[in-house]
Amino acid sequence: MKFTILTLFPDMVMSGLNDSIIKRGMDNGLLEVGAVNIRDFSADKHKRVDDYTYGGGAGMLMQAEPVYQALSSVTSESQKKPRVVYVTPQGRPFCQKMAEEFAKEEQLVLLCGHYEGIDERVLEECVTDYVSIGDYVLTGGELASMVIVDAVARLVPGVLHNETSAETESFHGELLEYPQYSRPEEWHGKRVPEVLLSGNSKKIREWRLTEAEKRTKERRPDLYEKYQLLQLAKKRLSVRKIHHMDMIEAINRGRATLIYMDETECLLMENQSGTYFHTTYEATEQETYRPHFLDKLGPESLDKIILLMEHNEGCVSEIEKELGLHMEYQNHTCALTRREKLPIRGLYAEDGKEGPTGISIEPLTLSDLDYALGLYKLQFDDPEYMKHRIENDPMYLARFHGAPAGIMGMHVDGSIGMLEVDPAFRRKHIGFALETYLYNKMIENGEIPYGYIFHTNQISINMQEKLGMYVAKEYSFWLHK
Ligand code: ADE
């Protein structure tokens, strides 16, 4: 990902960012950070870029033309128009969700103001986002830009070597992070909580959740309130647990934003994919049912819905009509709700190593991209999607006596899928091995594996049931713009 910072103080931002993890990301070719000196674009012989404010008032303002020229020098060399972020105390408050949104971009341009700010006309013409890093005023935008680059850069796949640590930490699903301890076991008379020494991963997970809740309630009551609303949604969704497992798991995994909720229905957004999920908790009797959110949300919020998973058939036609979406597929949700890992049954040896069956499982990497695409293209031909999946979530490759034999992984919305067994290796339990391995990894992580089965695919329904999955009897409906 490329960051370009437009500033009067390029050395300040470059020296601040050219160290530690960001530097390693640059050295590895994952990040590119550059600064452009706005002063280089001044037509003035003294290289001035500021002037008095019309209408009077204290201080000087940065003029439109040098800023415009500096921005044009950056945007004209980009194939796709990049987002241009003006950092200002008058912007939208910067937060983790915004960092996640920015991290999806190929390039981000950050514009730093100085003096009293920048002539409004060039902002109107060029800026796509106004962002503040907090309710206080700095002497210029440089520190704010550095904060944004740092928070976004660490989310770029590969920048943090420990991939999972970008997810399990502060601001994960409205909860602050739990307390953590390192050696020694006792320091200044304080012992590490016993449970953390127990090796019991279920107990440790429970303890961490309780501590995270306590800490959030105490330190950030505003976040805690949002967390409680999501917990209430989860409780209401549990009346049809399997059917709603996609929504429940989005909440459990800290990936849900509550968009609308009342006593009968709920609309969530899954943060990573931007997919919306809607349901009425209980099935409704009416043939058509107008969801309340259509009348409660403003046009700006409704316009953002381009992919929606509807859990009540009665709502489909109203949503299609009102939001201009159309139904593409219907499917059943299936979920593996057991808390103990599945038996391996000799499918492979410990840790996915090759067992007597000849099957082994390992993480799928970018070097297997062509193989994975060759298999998956039968269903879905999008190289970028597969690359994104490999970079962002666990995907697995099965081998049969060393030869690649199948793949499986997780969709961007968190459902499991993309199971493909190489036609050359059918009937060798490759599919069962991949599923068992992936489900066990998820169970170890405290997650409930769930997926969608195309409604006519009886073979797949039978296979999932054999593995202990419950299949919802109801249909869910994918609605696309
Ligand atoms: N420039 C000056 N103060 C700022 C702030 N709080 N956030 C972003 N940019 C700024």
pLDDT digits (tens, 9 = 90+) for 193-210: 999 999 998 899 999 999
Residue by residue, DSSP assigns 106-172 as SEEEEEE--TT-B-HHHHHHH-SEEEESSSS--SSSHHHHHHHHHHHHTTSTTSSSSGGGGTSSTTB
Mean pLDDT (whole number) for 96-118: 94
Strand, coil or helix: 220: coil
Among 6, 90, 92, 138, which is best to mutate for testing ligand 1, by the most ligand atoms less than 8 A from CB?
138
Residue by residue, DSSP assigns 333-399 as EEE---SSPPP-TTSS-GGG---TTSEEEEE--GGGHHHHHHHHTTT---HHHHHHHHHHS--EEEE
Q: How much is the pLDDT for 24?
A: 95
> How would residue 286 be classed by pLDDT, with cut points 50, 70 and 90?
confident
CB 277 within 8 A of CB 250: yes
Q: How much is the pLDDT for 379?
A: 65
Spatial separation of the C-alpha atoms in residues 140 and 400, rounded to whole Å: 59
Atom of ligand 1 nearest to the CA of 141: 1
Count of CA atoms in the C-beta half-sphere (13 A) of 208: 18
Among 132, 142, 145, which is best to mutate for testing ligand 1, by the most ligand atoms less than 8 A from CB?
132
Among 7, 8, 88, 150, which is best to mutate for testing ligand 1, by the most ligand atoms less than 8 A from CB?
88
Q: How much is the pLDDT for 172?
A: 61
414 lines ligand 1 (CB under 6 A): no
Does 168 score more than 50 pLDDT? no
In this predicted model, what pLDDT tens digit does every residue of 230-271 receive, in sequence order? 999 999 999 999 999 999 999 999 999 999 999 999 999 999
CB 159 within 8 A of CB 151: no
| Locus of tokens 């998956």 | 376
This prediction's pTM? 0.88
CB 302 within 8 A of CB 396: no
Q: How much is the pLDDT for 378?
A: 60
Q: Measuring CA to CA, which residue among 176, 257, 170 is closest to residue 221? A: 176
Mean pLDDT (whole number) for 116-139: 97
CB 457 within 8 A of CB 451: no
Spatial separation of the C-alpha atoms in residues 267 and 262, rounded to whole Å: 9
In this predicted model, what pLDDT tens digit does every residue of 360-404 receive, in sequence order? 999 999 999 999 999 987 667 788 899 999 988 889 999 999 999
243 vs 455, more confident: 243
Spatial separation of the C-alpha atoms in residues 248 and 234, rounded to whole Å: 6
Mean pLDDT (whole number) for 168-177: 70
In this predicted model, what pLDDT tens digit does every residue of 24-46 receive, in sequence order? 999 999 999 999 999 999 999 99
Q: What angle do CA 186, 208, 260 make, to 5 degrees?
A: 155
Q: How far is the CA of 5 from the centre of ligand 1 (A)?
A: 14
Q: Measuring CA to CA, which residue among 380, 418, 379, 415 is closest to residue 398? A: 418
The one-letter amino acid code at 47 reads K
Q: How far is the CA of 144 from the centre of ligand 1 (A)?
A: 6
> How would residue 460 be classed by pLDDT, with cut points 50, 70 and 90?
confident
In this predicted model, what pLDDT tens digit does every residue of 311-354 receive, in sequence order? 999 999 999 999 999 999 999 999 999 999 999 999 999 999 99
